[in-house]
Amino acid sequence: MAILTVEEVAEKTNKSVKTIRRQIAEGSLKATKINNRYRISTKDYRDWFNKYSNGIRKQSIFDDVDYFNQESKRVNYVDISKMWDRDGWNNPEERNELNFIDLFSGAGGLSCGLVMAGWTPIGSVEIMEQAVATYKYNFVDKKGFKENVETQDIRDSKVKKRLYDSVAGKNIDLIVGGFPCQGFSMSGNRIVTDKRNTLYLDMLEIVDHLKPKVVVMENVPGLRSMLGGKVEEKIINDFEKIGYKINITVLNAADYCTPQIRKRVIFIGNRIGVENCHPQPILTPDKYITTKEAIGDLMKHKEDPLFNHVPTTHSEEMQKKLLKVKEGESLYKNYSDSWKKCPWDKPSCTIKENHGGVNIHPKLPRVLTAREMARLQSFPDDFVFQGSKKWQLTQIGNAVPCYLGKAIGLAVEIMLEQ
């Protein structure tokens, strides 16, 4: 039986190699890995091609989008600068009487920012055990917020019921959620049928049941272009059907005093008939907080596990390689989004933990510590991450910058004051 390579299939069908790999990844085209490369039998190729050429493919939940309300693309920016000094994280007396629930909360970056803005968490859902431990330690054990925090899968109907019961009788002003975005990312195969892409439907179900005044969703900017914008349209349409008018734009965390260039797409919607508000930037690019300003003082800080500041020990050869990397460039040409050296006199490049490929320190021959990453994500120094160092880095890399959460919280408060 003849065997075809991915490249040969792409050439035969006049499709890109990426398209063929995506078909393999979602299971439409059968393939076998031999010596770390995919091989396709002629029979499997013919079976797939007959379906593919006839326009038959695995059905996507995004295929039924038939219209799009252009009003959602209009953005109303509000001035939050006069409220920016508020610090509800350290000063309980500066908290307002507004409540929120955080779905897909992770370690609590978005929650921390909302608390800084004065909000009170009354519920959260997260499936990563280490992130839940971090959330519980910082929000319940240290800050004393009254919520039941445990490792939970949002897809479980029992989990949803426990959440509903825990907030019964409470005023719910806001539900926020950064549903997992692996399938929406610009990197790798953008798999439409990846089951993780439907987790926002679980959020939709919870919002429809609890009916908060406002809903906020965040994700990677790549979501906006996926399937020519159909993903974005589907999400907006679904929330509109349950009574939420949505507006959407991309915000850059550096505009809100975060020492990092990190862009996120932010959906804001409400069911109470007010105008949705996104936060107006606090800083202009010439005033951005730099990496040096954020972590310069930690260069001489002693190793401190309780502070999440444990430098990685590299071999002498690796240290030499790390020192040679130029700012803004990666150690490895094939991994431009990891092992990247942060610029010193500018905001950091996007902080992430990619299977050990963390960001390189601009001045020292090592990668960043968890605390340095946390600083660049605008976490306060008293926010302590639980779990092994590997899991600490993962939690921080996945988090929404706290100051971006704070900016959103202040903007939503202005909305509610309407």
**Is 181 a catalytic site residue?**
yes
3-class secondary structure per residue, the chain:
CCEEEHHHHHHHHCCCHHHHHHHHHCCCCCCEEECCEEEEEHHHHHHHHHHHHCCCCCCCCCCCCCCCCHHHHCCCEECCHHHCCCCCCCCHHHCCCCEEEEECCCCCHHHHHHHHCCCEEEEEEECCHHHHHHHHHHHHHHCCCCCCCCECCCCCHHHHHHHHHHCCCCCCCEEEECCCCHHHCCCCCCCCCCHHHHHHHHHHHHHHHHCCCEEEEEECHHHHHHHHHHHHHHHHHHHHHCCCEEEEEEEEHHHHCCCECCEEEEEEEECCCCCCCEECCCCCHHHCCCHHHHHHHHHHCCCEHHHCECCCCCCHHHHHHHHHCCCCCECCCCCCCCCEECCCCCCECCCCCCCCCCCECCCCCCECCHHHHHHHCCCCCCCCCCCCHHHHHHHHHHCCCHHHHHHHHHHHHHHHHC
Q: Point out the catalytic residue in the list 112, 181, 349, 402.
A: 181
Q: Which are the catalytic amino acids?
A: 181
